[in-house]
Structure 1
Amino acid sequence: MKKYICFFFTLACLLQIHAVKAQSVIGKWKTYNIFDKNREEAIVEIYLDKDGLYVKIIDILPPEHKNDLCKKCSGSLKDKPILGMIILRAAKFQDNVWQGAKILNAKNGKEYGCHISIEAPDLLRVRGFIGYPIFGKTLYWTRIE
């Protein structure tokens, strides 16, 4: 009987760990074109650092763009490789949303306000906006293993 209780307890713990992982934004995500939602653009890695949430481009999916530079960026990012670029820094978790940081669109060099939240276990909702969230665009990223 003790073996069964121990087995079920272990199983319950493993299922809980899987559920927590599925609800986390941490991991690798596939991004899509803002105008053509079927066209894959990049793989990003979302991770936590001491001061918040970060998003880094770790792969660019159209092979012809792998060596692109951020020509339209300003400041220290100008003419830097897009591959490996951190496009969001130090977002904070507040009211079930990661917010309080700007996200860089490396195609046009502009930064936007950003809210990131879990839509489903493997679907991330990324809202980029100017000024207020109502003035923006929502993108959906899918989790990859």
Structure 2
Amino acid sequence: MKQLCALLLITISITTNAQSIIGQWETYDDKTNEKKALIEISKTNDTYSAKIIDKYVGDMDSVCEKCEGDKKNKPIIGLVIIEDIKKDDDEYNDGTILDPESGDVYSCYLKLVNTDKLKVRGFLGVSLFGRTQYWLRKK
């Protein structure tokens, strides 16, 4: 009986973690489908954020020249690109996403498509006008 309870708790724990956006995600170029970066999503209190932890293309020492404010000229690796996302049922929204190539900041929402695929939508105004990417969980 103890073994069954332990197995059940482990299964519940794995299922809960697999349904979370927390972890490492690989991003891909919209046009070439080439791997671009490795992003790490974390949670602090009730909000989620994401930062670039590795790049697969370009200069590893590049900085965000087009960013504004405290992110201007900061290294791309370590740069927080998603901020203030909050869980709302099966979506994560009300946050922002930074495009480090343009320096532009957009409204953002995230949604798990499945345990290993994350829909990332950046938009201006209404969510009809924007861009969607799909990130894959790093194995």
TM-score (norm. length: structure 1): 0.89
Aligned to 1:100: 94
SS at match of 2:41: strand
Deviation at 1:51, TM superposition (A): 5.0
Residues 20-35 of structure 1: matches in 2 within 5 Å? 20-35=16-31
Q: Which moved more, 1:20-29 or 1:90-99?
A: 90-99
Aligned to 1:66: 60
Question: Can you list the C-alpha shifts for 1:23-80, whole angstroms capped at 9, x where unaligned?
Answer: 00001111111323x2111111100113510101100111x32111111111221211
Distance (whole Å) between structure 2 residues aligned to residue 66 and residue 132 of structure 1: 34
SS at match of 2:94: strand
Distance (whole Å) between structure 1 residues aligned to residue 88 and residue 8 of structure 2: 29
SS at match of 1:79: coil
Which amino acid is 1:96 matched to? D
Residues 69-80 of structure 1: matches in 2 within 5 Å? 69-80=63-74
Distance (whole Å) between structure 1 residues aligned to residue 62 and residue 55 of structure 2: 9
Q: Does 1:41 align with 2:50?
A: no
Q: How many residues end up aligned between the 2 structures? A: 139
SS at match of 2:75: coil
CA RMSD of aligned residues (A): 1.3
* Aligned sequence identity (%): 35
Which amino acid is 1:74 matched to? E
Residues 129-140 of structure 1: matches in 2 within 5 Å? 129-140=123-134
Aligned to 2:117: 123
Greater share of helix? 1
Gaps of 5+ in 2: none
Gaps of 5+ in 1: none
Larger radius of gyration: 1
